[in-house]
Amino acid sequence: MVEHVQKGIAEVNGTSLYYEVAGEGHPLVLNHGGLVDNHLWDDQFDEFARHFKVIRYDIRGFGDSGMLKNGMDPYSMERDLYSLLQFLGIEKTYVLGLSMGGALAIDFTLQYPEMVDALITVGAGLSGFEMAEPDEELKAKFEEMDEAFKSGDTVRSVEISLQIWTDGPNRTPQQVDPQVRERVRAMTTRNFELGDDEEVRPQHIEPPAAVRLSEIHVPTLIMVGDQDVELILKIADTLEKDIAGAKKVVIPGTAHHLNMEKPEEFNQVVIEFLEQLSKSR
């Protein structure tokens, strides 16, 4: 365990962001996905803090950060992250994100390029990306999940989200580490029960990242699990193709939460990538 963890609340942009900071060295900020919270990184936080100054936090509307309330001013996840880093006195950082947090990491790199020394995406989303042929099976699963949520059946809705993301389309729940499923279940359940206003949505960068990837000029690592949904695998291919010099690593036998399924392998890939950069700086 890391001995000294700085925990606090940053009051920024009309909201409050819960954060934790540990370690010394070059900053590395961790952005969680859209169904979880900062505990997504429980298997990474201590290990990364041995090498870097690590920041993990709850994005607005998640975990212990401020909720989304009807009538609040338009907000941007990228601006929130910028303001958090300013609050912490961080001028340059490595940026890592999973899923929604991966899309955020990409958009942040485009919006605040002077602050980013390296970009790491993990099963990332991508603003403005559309598949040529929509995945009808995935779409039906999402609709089933939404219907369960709207009918008040949180347990069913969360289980469907686990089947989509933690299991992936080609595995049964029994083929996935039960501890990983239960950790994701706990985080997702909490988020589903927070009672955010669904009509409040963050602003996104324009033009979207999908048509601007050639503007990214920092060292980039793309990580993905081979059992993830087709949409995420296609996005990973697009990032590798359109970001100059990007390196892609596929971790076999994992789906969307690859950092939880194979933490040692995941941590080693990230640390080696970033330490190689620090040697060449």
Q: Does a structural domain hold residue 63?
A: yes
Q: What is the predicted pLDDT for the residue at 134?
A: 78
Report the run of H or E that residue 55 belongs to, with start and end: strand 53-57
Q: What is the predicted pLDDT for the residue at 280?
A: 73
Half-sphere exposure of 64 (CA within 13 A, CB side): 11
> What is the β-pairing status of strands 53-57 and 116-122?
unpaired
Q: Look at the chain and report how many structural domains it folds into.
A: 1
Q: Does a structural domain hold residue 141?
A: no
What the block records as the tokens of 66 is: 């401020």
Summarised one tens digit per residue, pLDDT across range 215-260 is 999 999 999 999 999 999 999 999 999 999 999 999 999 999 999 9
Q: Which residues of the chain have pLDDT under 50?
A: none
CB-CB contact of 224 with 236 (8 Å): yes
Q: Does a structural domain hold residue 74?
A: yes
Q: Does a structural domain hold residue 247?
A: yes
Domain that holds residue 58: 5-132+199-280
Q: What is the predicted pLDDT for the residue at 197?
A: 60
Residue at 206: amino acid letter: E
Q: Does a structural domain hold residue 180?
A: no
Q: Does a structural domain hold residue 262?
A: yes
Q: What is the predicted pLDDT for the residue at 73?
A: 84
Q: Does a structural domain hold residue 210?
A: yes
Q: What is the predicted pLDDT for the residue at 231?
A: 95
Q: What is the CATH number of the domain that holds 271?
A: 3.40.50.1820
Q: Does a structural domain hold residue 150?
A: no
Q: What is the predicted pLDDT for the residue at 278?
A: 76
Q: What is the predicted pLDDT for the residue at 3?
A: 73
Q: What is the pTM of this model?
A: 0.96
